[in-house]
Amino acid sequence: MKRIYLIVTMLALSQICNPQLLKNFSTNDALNSYGVEIGIISKDLGYNTFTQTNTKIVTNQSQTLILLSGWNLISTYIDPIYPAVDSVFQPILSNLLIMKDYLGQPYWPQFNVNLIGNLTIGQGYQVKMASVDTLTITGDLVVPENNPVLLQINWNIIGYLRTDPAPPDTMLYSIQSNLSILKDNFGNVYWPQFGVNLITEMQPGQGYQLKLFGPDTLLYPPNDVPYVFACGDVICDFDGNSYNTVLIGNQCWMKQNMRASHYDDGTALSYVATNADWVTLNYSSKAFCYYNNDSANGDYYGALYTWAAAMKGSAASNTVPSGVQGICPTGWHVPSDEEWRILEGEVDSQYSYPDPIWGNVGFRGSNAGNNLKATFGWYNNGNGSDLYGFTALPSGHRYNTGDFQLVLNQSAWWSSHCNSGSTNAWSRELLYNYNNIDRANWNKRYGMAVRCLKDN
């Protein structure tokens, strides 16, 4: 039985490293009903030999791109029904400022200029938007291994033709010996000559700047197997920030605090800088900041969010899992108070979960805090053992008056749980001079860190 994978509708957030799901149609009846023509060829990429299903999908497929305000690098794995750029971009023409291909030729609707003509399969494009918008492209699903991408010496802008994310070293194997550097829309690079990979994975919907030492032809591997996340892999948020992950017991945690300024659907959070503005926030205000309003602190420690911002306005939850995605990427969630207790019992040498000690308020346990703290960065040599790779850094918090407090001395994270009707929510706190861990009930207008947990 021949099996074909089709994407019916994909949300291709170009900044997010999240696996996409493939729809599997595995019967001859399904193939016939979807008007599939099948042919078989074989191709040797050097690292493996695969059998290619040369497939023409008659039924329309679609891919939805989220475009940020300003410049974007985009591509699509759809061969549009109407490939002319003015047709493809017609739904967002009022928001589109200018579009350019790799040669710098523009599509400039304001002045009725179109030097691009049609979209080219395998090419990426620079698109400048007046504001955030979405674009759905409808047509045939491209078979990546059947669409070689011709590349020139020096700089190109390439598209990503596969439907699931994958590491650039695997995707660019066919041109690896000729590859100088790959860059994404945010300046992250894959630089194999120096062993640097800040891109981690190429993403559907994203375009890439690619520099070659000479002309070449890029051939992507097929869409045979979707990417399956394994704890320890790197993930990304909407803004392209990357996060390492670690398995502790049966829980998969991020190793860094969230620093996203957008939710996973592209909605921007409100950055609140001054104390005068922060003190006016109410309990439903979705605000964030960086410690001392220094973006370098955001890069290092993560952002500080109000509870409403962390939760994205969701109702409180103390289930396992919490079911509250909040500020976290797709497939991840804000941990509940109960899930924090599970972590504490896993890393403490004396009190395991569900010992009733973890239900107490204040500092509890023996050495859970020490085992979660990083081995560096804490005031007065208050470093921990980081026994489990959680790598908690002393990010401090922002008081509801707007004052910043306790960087280098304290870590503080929100949970998804609060008592009914309360203006406070449950949190966790580490201090430089304590080896155990604090369960506290803090005001929801505080700015605190968020550490995300993988869904089951």
| Any domain includes 228 | no
User: In the prediction, which pLDDT does 228 show?
Assistant: 66
Same domain, 195 and 246: no
- 294 and 254 in a common domain: yes
Q: Is residue 225 part of a domain?
A: no
Query: Does residue 57 sit in the same domain as residue 165?
Result: yes
Residue 224 lies in a domain: no
Q: Of the candidates 184, 218, 252, which is a domain's last residue?
A: 218
Question: Is there a single domain that holds both residue 306 and residue 444?
Answer: yes
Residues of the chain falling short of pLDDT 70:
1-59, 225-228
Given this model, what pLDDT does residue 225 score?
Answer: 59
Residues 207 and 242 in one domain: no
Q: Looking at residue 260, what is its pLDDT? A: 95
The residue segments making up the domain with residue 63 are 4-218
Bond prior to 91 in cis (omega within 30° of 0)? no
Domain assignment present for 361: yes
Cβ neighbours, 10 Å, residue 219:
19
Claim to verify: residue 202 and residue 259 sit in the same structural domain:
no
* 434 beta partners: none
Q: Is residue 133 included in any domain, yes or no?
A: yes
Does 259 lie in the same domain as 195? no
Look up residue 354 and give its two tokens: 């569900």
Domain boundary among 161, 188, 218: 218
Regarding whether 327 and 211 lie in a shared domain, the answer is no
Residue 223 falls within a domain, yes or no?
A: no
Residue 229 falls within a domain, yes or no?
A: no
Please report the pLDDT score of residue 200 as a whole number: 87
Q: Token pair 């007046």 is at which residue?
A: 130
Distance from the Cα of residue 323 to its chain's centroid: 18
At 54 the pLDDT is: 37
Query: Domain for residue 406, yes or no?
Result: yes
pLDDT digits (tens, 9 = 90+) for 3-50: 233 322 233 333 334 333 222 222 233 333 333 332 322 333 333 333
* Number of folded domains that form the chain: 2
> Model's pTM, two decimal places?
0.60
State which of 192, 218, 244 marks the end of a domain: 218
Same domain? For 170 and 239 the reply is no
Pair 30, 117 in one domain: yes
SS3 assignment for the chain? CCCEEECCEEEECCCCCCCCCCEEECCHHHHHHCCEEEEEEEEECCCCEEEEEEEEECCCEEEEEEECCEEEEECCCEEECCCEHHHHCHHHCCCEEEEECCCCCEEEHHHCEECCCECCCCECEEEEECCCEEEEEEEEECCHHHCCEEECCEEEEEECCCCCCECHHHHCHHHHHHEEEEECCCCCEEEHHHCEECCCCECCCEEEEEEECCCEEECCCCCCCCCCCCECECEECCCCCEECEEEECCEEEECCCCCCCECCCCCECEECCCHHHHCCCCCCCCEEECHHHCHHHHHHHCCEECHHHHHCCCCCCCCCCCCCCCCCCCCEECCCHHHHHHHHHHHCCCCCCCCHHHHCCEEECCCHHHHHECCCCCHHHCCCCCCCCCCECCCCEECCCCCEECCCCEEEEECCCCCCCCCEEEEEEEECCCCCEEEEEEECCCEEECCCEECC
Residue 199 sits in the same domain as residue 243: no
Query: How far is it, in rounded angstroms, from Cα 65 to Cα 260?
Result: 19
pLDDT of residue 155: 96
- Contact of 232 with 246, CB cutoff 8 Å: yes
Q: Quick one: 324 and 277 in the same domain?
A: yes
Looking at residue 173, what is its pLDDT?
83
